[in-house]
Amino acid sequence: MRNLFTQLFTAAALATLPGTSASAKDTTDLAAYVNPFIGTSGTGHTFPGAATPLGLVQLSPETGNYKWEYCSGYQYADTTVRGFSHTHLNGTGVGNLGDVLILPFKNGTPKRDFAVPFSKNEEIASPGYYSSLLSTDEIKVELTATPHTGAHRYTFLKDGEQKVLINIDSTLFSWGDKTKSKVTAAEFEVKNPQLITGFLRNQFWVEEQERQVYFAIKLGQAFKGKSFADDAKRLLVLDYDAKTGEPLELRVGISTVSVEGAMKNLAAESDGKSFDDLHLAARASWTQLLSKIAIQGTDDQKTNFYTALYHLYLQPSNIADVDGRYRGFLNKVSSSPMGVYYSTLSIWDTFRAAHPLYNILSPEKNAQFVESMLLHAEAKGALPIWGLWGGDSYCMIGNHGVSVVAEAWLKGIPGIDGARAYAVVKKSLTTSNWEKYTKWDLYDKYQYLPADLDPKESVSKTLESGYNDWCAAQMAKKLGKMDDYEFFMKRASYYKNLYDPETGLMRGRNSDGSWVTPFDPLLIAHGVTGGNYTEGNAWQYSFHVLQDAPGLMALMGGKDAFAAKLDTLFTLKETSKESIGFVLDVSGLIGQYAHGNEPSHHVAYLYNYAGQPHKAQKYIREVLATQYLNKPDGLSGNDDCGQMSAWLIFSTLGFYPVNPASGIYDIGIPSYESASIHVGNGRTFEIRTNGQSNGNVCVQSVTLNGEPITNYQIRHEQIMKGGVLEFTLAPAPVK
């Protein structure tokens, strides 16, 4: 029996992972460099399962639940599996989804948390494919996916009775009573021995509405018997007589709209196609996407880079059915004018680098993301904060949908109506219906959010709102709305009112103008549980002025003082003896710089503004060397729907968007001898590096199309025209 398994598994490995060793990799198939296990241990919160780019279905194993480390349902070190569910979140700080959990098994009594052992030695993951061996029951599991369907292939390595558990009483959640399901309603309908349909509703994280999931399951073989393992009839067990080596296939269609929608998705995407056909199509879709950028580097560099690019495109997810219908805000079913509708929008994270990268690599897709956000806003009254399955979790602070919309329009991405977009932006920042998250009356009256009147996250909210105000101002100016421009530019400067010259840091301030005391600049606060900062402290947030680095530098005493303050940030090893709330998100520390959390992501590049770019280059290289490793615990923090990955991609290429909506990218230091980005219409933007070596750690000179760049900045339109950005590196900085 083991010989049969070895033959089957070796064939799968060769088909799905060309060149698992460095010397055997097929360099024309960039999917071979993707390691989906990166980030699946520790705090990365990624998942290893099968998916297609921007697909609704992400079919992956679940090894745990109910705890923060299981936000994606999986931890690499685990040796038992609860089943394989069809929807997941990539690298988030809150658990959700995990719908329609299916597990083949032979032995044991199923229940809601039933699990079986699986062999870590036999586990394989690659873009569009996952496989493992349920070791005790000797069942080989293979998974692949289309945008709306999951395909399962189970090969039973022992004769006799086999079972399949379909669990619709399970969804992922990261806190609360684990004895109580978050599924509020669920129902099966067995149409015939080869077709099962149903729905479930989930209430967790999204506030105003229940999340609705509809499914249709086609079975390759008729079951011989069925039973329920629970009184609520949410755990359905199917019985089969299996023969050795004979596969059982399942196809599962998912819809946010209806069972009929799930059936249409299933028929459109998988009818008449074999499991291998679906797998090859999924892999081809990833290979085509990954080919947007070519790099010349080591195998480890390529693995980290292409895995990051893979993680970047796991979301947003198109939640519309193949006919364009989707379930949006307050569960209203609508038809998308563009045929797609994107949700899973972790915008507090992704506005910083992920959306700027989409604007370079896939501007047509980012236009669809923006249109989806505008449709959401027109239904809700404001842009989404953290969009999930058409609803809003309101997670995190600031309405950074403003940045995403403004950036795309200001950069000239086709398909966006500027007047319509600006109307939504203005409403979101002044009269929106989420006032309990940013109190606009207080913000405008005091020109900061007073800590005594808004006691949670007042400093962070003020700083982050100021950046969005700047974005709105640029839109207003371009549209000729000068009164609005002046209004929003004034608000964009409110950050200055929270700068405490005595401590040299951004500090909480009360409505009477007094500073919050006592003041511990190292005290880390976790937003909703109290404190003036969001998942950070005064040191980390004092540099969060994306829109006005020169103004912040002047506030802190000029270039030399600003650089000295940055030096302290990166070297200050002390920590507070206390913290407020949950602080595991504040990770990847270099001094007080926290790369595992997004508010720090632009900070190293601020050295450029102080005239010391060599220090930016030093810390960029240190972050890349210590915070991104080719192993399961290789990410220093949550991947956060591709933001951590986008930072790696930009920073290894040699530039980064400190202020995304400005259209400016600040120069860093490239990691590769050469790289080329296909920017559309047959144009290529190339990055070439002279003297790329471990010893050459400073940029000596940089040119664009042969012309020197002395301000260490390039613009979006320069990249999109194509050309050559050329670096020369040296061991020491140049004066």
User: What is the chain's percent helix, strand, coil content, to nearest 5?
Assistant: 35, 25, 45
In the structure, what pLDDT confidence band is assigned to residue 13 with cuts at 50, 70 and 90? very low
Q: Rg of the Cα trace of the chain?
A: 26
Of 360, 357, 383, 344, residue with least CA distance to 472: 383
Residues in the chain: 735
On whether the CB atoms of residues 15 and 131 are closer than 8 A, the answer is no
CB-based contact 348:400 (threshold 8 Å):
yes
Q: How confident is the model at residue 243 (pLDDT cuts 50, 70, 90)?
A: confident
**Best CA proximity match to 491, nearest among 607, 402, 360, 608:** 402
Instruction: Please state, in angstroms and rounded to a whole number, the distance separating the CA atoms of residues 423 and 476.
Output: 10
Calculate the dihedral angle through the C-alpha atoms of 270, 362, 416, 328, rounding to the nearest 10 degrees: 40
Q: Report pLDDT digits (tens) over 675-724.
A: 999 999 999 999 999 999 999 999 999 999 999 999 999 999 999 999 99
Judge contact between 481 and 561, C-beta under 8 A: no
pLDDT tens-digit map of 458-496 = 999 999 999 999 999 999 999 999 999 999 999 999 999
Q: For residue 164, list its beta bridge partners.
A: 104, 238
Half-sphere exposure of 8 (CA within 13 A, CB side): 24
Average pLDDT, the chain: 94
Domains of the chain: 2-291 (2.70.98.10)
Are 531 and 539 spatial neighbours (Cβ–Cβ below 8 Å)?
no
Task: Compute the distance between CA of residue 671 and CA of residue 295 in angstroms, rounded to an integer.
Answer: 9
pLDDT of 220 > 80? The answer is: yes
Dist. CA 366–CA 413, nearest whole Å = 8
Record the tokens describing residue 255, joined without a space: 């819809």
Confidence (pLDDT) at 21: 33
- Nearest Cα neighbor of 53 from 325, 460, 358, 275 is 358
pLDDT at position 578: 87
Quote the pLDDT of residue 280.
98
Q: What's the pLDDT band for 278 if we cut at 50, 70, 90?
A: very high
Query: Which tens digit of pLDDT belongs to each residue from 110-163?
Result: 998 999 999 999 999 999 999 999 999 999 999 999 999 999 999 999 888 999
H-state helical runs in 440-481: 440-446, 458-478
The pLDDT value recorded for residue 27 is 63
Mean pLDDT, residues 20-46: 81
Residue range 306-361, pLDDT digits in tens: 999 999 999 999 999 999 999 999 999 999 999 999 999 999 999 999 999 999 99
Distances (CA, A) of 643 to 92, 344, 357, 409, 716: 10, 13, 10, 21, 19
What is the structure's pLDDT at 143? Answer: 98
pLDDT of residue 436: 53
Per the CB < 8 A criterion, the answer to whether 98 and 172 are in contact is yes
Dist. CA 257–CA 341, nearest whole Å:
12
CA distance 444 to 11: 65
| Strand, coil or helix: 318 | strand
Residue 342 near residue 317, CB atoms below 8 Å: yes
- DSSP category for residue 380: H
Amino acid in position 545: V
Strand partners, 149: 253
Three-class SS of residue 661? helix
pLDDT of 22 strictly over 70: no
Q: Check pLDDT > 70 for residue 25.
A: no
Rounded to a whole number of angstroms, the distance between the first and last alpha carbons of the chain is 69
Instruction: Name the percent of the chain lying above pLDDT 90.
Output: 89
**Inter-residue contact 639 to 39 (CB < 8 Å):** yes
Query: What was the pLDDT predicted at 37?
Result: 98
pLDDT digits over 65-124, tens only? Answer: 999 999 999 999 999 999 999 999 999 999 999 999 999 999 999 998 999 999 999 999
What distance in Å separates the CA atoms of residue 307 and residue 58, rounded to the nearest whole number?
A: 16
Q: Dihedrals φ, ψ of 714, to 5°?
A: -130, 165
Q: What is the distance between the alpha carbons of residues 582 and 529, in angstroms, rounded to a whole number? A: 8
